[in-house]
Amino acid sequence: MSRDVCILSSGVANIASMAACLKRLGCTVSYAETAQDIADAPALAVPGVGTFGVAMQTLTDRGWTDALRARILSGQKTLMICLGMQILCAGSDESPGVAGLGVIDATVKKLNAQKLPVPQMGWNLLSPARLPPALSSPALSLHEGDYVYFANSYALPAVGLESLQADDGWQLSTFAYGDDAAYPYVAMLRRQGVMACQFHPELSGKAGEGLIQQWLEGASC
């Protein structure tokens, strides 16, 4: 099991929190400087804050987009956080017209929060149980009942993503925001060595550290 983790710094993320979390888990932390670093890192963490458009522009400007997409498609050990998860998608209503990595053929939407505040700011439940039966995943029932920390105004609606699990091999877990539990959003996507979280595992106490530990110990392809 590798304990060397490379952080992809966009320059505007809370990378100190990510680094401190990894160090508590016994990792040695380095920072990506080239596309080659992104391709070769035994484990890569992509913390994301800011906006969809700015994040994609930064990746494009640095020439990192292809290396990151290739790594995710091949299942190499990669942790994508918050906006990092969103950029897996084709696009986002936050930045219309900006193409994401396109690994997930879906569009990120503004939270439909009814009367609740936006951004969602705080601890919400990871709930595989809220998925339609076709999407529920026994492997993730481990985390049912874990509270994790979210800070987001946009998210990926889970409804309509059945083929992601059935055909593309992604495991999903969800969260609900607002009173309408029938309208879940994607909280976490996992496939091979890739773990993508809408929430912040690095800020989610023991539950979050446990998830990162699992990711570190999990298989990579």
Residues that bind another protein (CB under 8 A): 12, 14, 16-17, 20-21, 23-24, 49-51, 83, 116-125, 147, 149-153, 176-177, 200, 202-206, 208-209
Beta-sheet pairing, 4-7 with 44-46:
parallel
Is position 200 annotated as part of the catalytic site? yes
The one catalytic residue in 6, 27, 89, 202 is: 202
C-beta of 122 vs 169, nearer to another protein: 122
- Cα separation, 174 vs 162, in Å, equals 13
* Least Cβ distance, residue 168 to another protein (angstroms): 29
DSSP H/E element including 121: strand 120-125
DSSP conformational letter for 167: T
What is the sign of the dihedral through the CA atoms of 193, 126, 159 and 13? negative
- For 40, 107, 154, the CA distances from 110, given in Å and listed in that order, are 34, 10, 4
C-beta of 147 vs 183, nearer to another protein: 147
CA 101 to chain centre: 13
The one catalytic residue in 27, 82, 89, 197 is: 82
* Least Cβ distance, residue 197 to another protein (angstroms): 14
Is position 6 annotated as part of the catalytic site? no
C-beta of 51 vs 192, nearer to another protein: 51
Is position 197 annotated as part of the catalytic site? no
Q: Which amino acids are annotated catalytic?
A: 82, 200, 202
